[in-house]
Amino acid sequence: MSRLSAAMSRMQRWDEDLCMRMNGVLRYTRLQPAFRAVSWLGNGIFWYSLMLAMLLGRRGDAVGPVVHMALVGAACTLIYKLLKRHTLRPRPYQVLGGVAAGAGVLDSFSFPSGHTLHAVAFTIVAASYYPMLTAPLVLFTLLTAASRVVLGLHYPSDVLAGAAIGAAIAGFSFGV
């Protein structure tokens, strides 16, 4: 076995093990409904509500930031759909016997986590315009990312990849 194959095998075992632990530990606790709620809000409801609140609270001053968020969201969706269509990675609950689905899914495949991808991108854009939102948005983003693994819908690597892609898209949107 080559070093690369051995490293990839170790990473896959880590990914599966952490997914099973996170799903198993919290699946039967009182926290599961909270993770379901965060995941549901992360479907877009939270972000669209934030954009509406920005427009209502800041009126004309928020148009630029909201348009920026909407364009970043469109780019995220395009890239997310392209990746899902070509990677076709099954969700953890579909292949790991010790993992149960804790919520419904929007599509059949796991890689990358679209919830996390969008959450990171939206957080970076919104926080750049409104720094006072940074802490609550980062907290919501972390909870969203964790919810996807806890609910057995994604592997940790799906979430990490989603975060990296979302950060890259948001960065590119600023010309970075």
| Beta carbons of 24 and 149 less than 8 angstroms apart | no
Sorted by where each begins, the domain ranges of the chain are 36-173
Task: Work out the number of other CB atoms within 10 angstroms of the CB of residue 85.
Answer: 10
* pLDDT tens readout for residues 18-39: 888 888 866 667 788 889 999 9
* pLDDT tens readout for residues 35-64: 999 999 999 999 999 999 999 988 889 999
Q: What is the reported pTM?
A: 0.91
The CATH superfamily label for domain 36-173 reads Phosphatidic acid phosphatase type 2/haloperoxidase (1.20.144.10)
CA distances from 171 to 64, 93, 97, 106, 137 (A): 16, 33, 38, 26, 17
Average pLDDT, the chain: 90
Pairwise CA distance, residues 11 & 127, whole Å:
32
